[in-house]
């Protein structure tokens, strides 16, 4: 995966200013878990396709995710100093470079889908259309502005569910649906993958909220207590109920696609994170 991500990143022309290229490589090739691209590939395999055919699409999703992390870390958003175990991009290269890296990675993601040789043209177009939805007004961007600006009275259970859907689940659902489409999924299979993505995205955000509160920054590679001052499900529900909700969501995910799928097994391993075991 890392090799392909590296190949899909342009290198600076000889003698050119290479700040954007170096900063983009740092943002993309750092110590991320690669959860979304792995799911894209497993979704393709789940419906009978070859995982490798969905590799470039998965890399595109990872580029979008990495761009969103660079923006999320900016001083005007979460003001984070540490990400994936390294200084955040605006700390190492400046805010100007960080903003431009995010824009460049987002564009490179769309280019990677357009250029993918293993994806049929009509599937590419649908994947691009879905990516624009996952990033825009009903996806990451809207989820993020709500996370930054919603007043506490809007952060009730319903509000937080919607926010988490836009901020986190939308990209998971997209990664899974598009991976399935590359593998030739039927409409029913796409619906199952979307339900799986919804459940896993929710569980993943709950897990992220819990890790923020109870795991050290050496283990997460991120600043600690980044959510302090924001109402999350941990505040609404407390730790016990939140852990139970993670288990329930995992169960729903398993039911959506079946327990024997390698996707289900991957999700299970991901959630049984050593740092959160008791």
Interface positions with ligand GRG (CB under 6 A): 32-33, 35, 64-65, 67-69, 71-72, 84, 106, 135, 140-141, 144, 167-168, 204-205, 208
Q: Cβ closer to ligand GRG: 208 or 255?
A: 208
Residue 193 CB partners (closer than 8 Å, separation 6+): 43, 46, 47, 173, 176, 177, 179, 180, 185, 256, 257
Of the candidates 61, 64, 32, 58, the one whose C-alpha atom is nearest the C-alpha of residue 43 is: 58
- Beta-carbon neighbour count of residue 255 at 10 Å? 14
The b-or-e profile of 192-212 (16+ CB within 10 A means b, else e) is bbbbbbbbbbbbbbbbbbbbb
Q: Cβ closer to ligand GRG: 84 or 254?
A: 84
Interatomic CA distance for residues 100 and 24, integer angstroms: 9
Residue 61 CB partners (closer than 8 Å, separation 6+): 36, 37, 40, 109, 131, 171, 174, 175, 178
83 φ, ψ (degrees, to nearest 5): -150, 135
Q: Cβ closer to ligand GRG: 6 or 33?
A: 33
Interatomic CA distance for residues 75 and 63, integer angstroms: 21
3-class DSSP state for residue 87?
strand
Q: Cβ closer to ligand GRG: 124 or 167?
A: 167
Q: Cβ closer to ligand GRG: 183 or 201?
A: 201
For the CB of residue 145, give the shortest distance to ligand GRG in the complex, in Å.
Answer: 8
252 near 273, Cβ under 8 Å? no
Q: Cβ closer to ligand GRG: 56 or 185?
A: 56
For the CB of residue 72, give the shortest distance to ligand GRG in the complex, in Å.
Answer: 4
For the CB of residue 207, give the shortest distance to ligand GRG in the complex, in Å.
Answer: 8
Q: Cβ closer to ligand GRG: 50 or 275?
A: 275
For the CB of residue 163, give the shortest distance to ligand GRG in the complex, in Å.
Answer: 10
Q: Cβ closer to ligand GRG: 56 or 189?
A: 56
For the CB of residue 107, give the shortest distance to ligand GRG in the complex, in Å.
Answer: 11
Q: What is the DSSP string of 25-86?
A: HHHHHSS---HHHHHHHHHHHHTTS-GGGGHHHHHHHHHHHHHHHHHHHSTTTT--SEETTE
For the CB of residue 50, give the shortest distance to ligand GRG in the complex, in Å.
Answer: 24
For the CB of residue 237, give the shortest distance to ligand GRG in the complex, in Å.
Answer: 18
For the CB of residue 182, give the shortest distance to ligand GRG in the complex, in Å.
Answer: 21
Tell me the residue number closest to ligand GRG, measured at CB: 32
């Amino acid at each position: 995966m890392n090799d392909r991500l590296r190949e899909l990143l342009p290198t600076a022309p000889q003698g050119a200013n290479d700040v954007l290229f170096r900063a983009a490589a740092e943002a993309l090739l750092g110590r991320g878990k690669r959860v979304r691209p792995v799911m894209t590939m497993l979704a393709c395999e789940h419906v009978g396709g070859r995982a490798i055919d969905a590799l470039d699409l998965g890399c595109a999703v990872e580029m979008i995710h990495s761009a969103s992390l660079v923006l999320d870390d900016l001083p005007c958003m979460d003001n984070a100093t540490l990400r994936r175990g390294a200084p955040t991009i605006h700390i190492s290269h400046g805010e100007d470079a960080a903003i431009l890296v995010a824009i460049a990675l987002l564009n490179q993601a769309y280019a990677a889908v357009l250029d993918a040789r293993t994806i049929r043209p009509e599937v590419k177009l649908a994947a691009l259309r879905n990516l624009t939805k996952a990033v825009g007004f009903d996806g990451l961007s809207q989820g993020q502005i709500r996370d930054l600006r919603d007043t506490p009275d809007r952060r009730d259970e319903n509000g937080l569910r919607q926010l988490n859907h836009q901020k986190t689940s939308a990209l998971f659902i997209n990664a899974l649906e598009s991976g399935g489409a590359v593998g030739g999924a039927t409409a029913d299979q796409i619906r199952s993958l979307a339900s799986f993505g919804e459940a896993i995205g929710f569980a993943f955000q709950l897990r992220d909220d819990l890790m923020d509160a109870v795991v050290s920054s050496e283990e997460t590679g991120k600043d600690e207590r980044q959510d302090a001052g924001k109402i999350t499900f941990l505040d609404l529900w407390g730790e016990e109920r939140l852990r139970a909700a993670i288990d329930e969501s995992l169960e729903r995910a398993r039911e959506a696609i079946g327990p024997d799928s390698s996707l289900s097994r991957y999700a299970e391993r991901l959630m049984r994170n050593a740092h959160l075991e008791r």
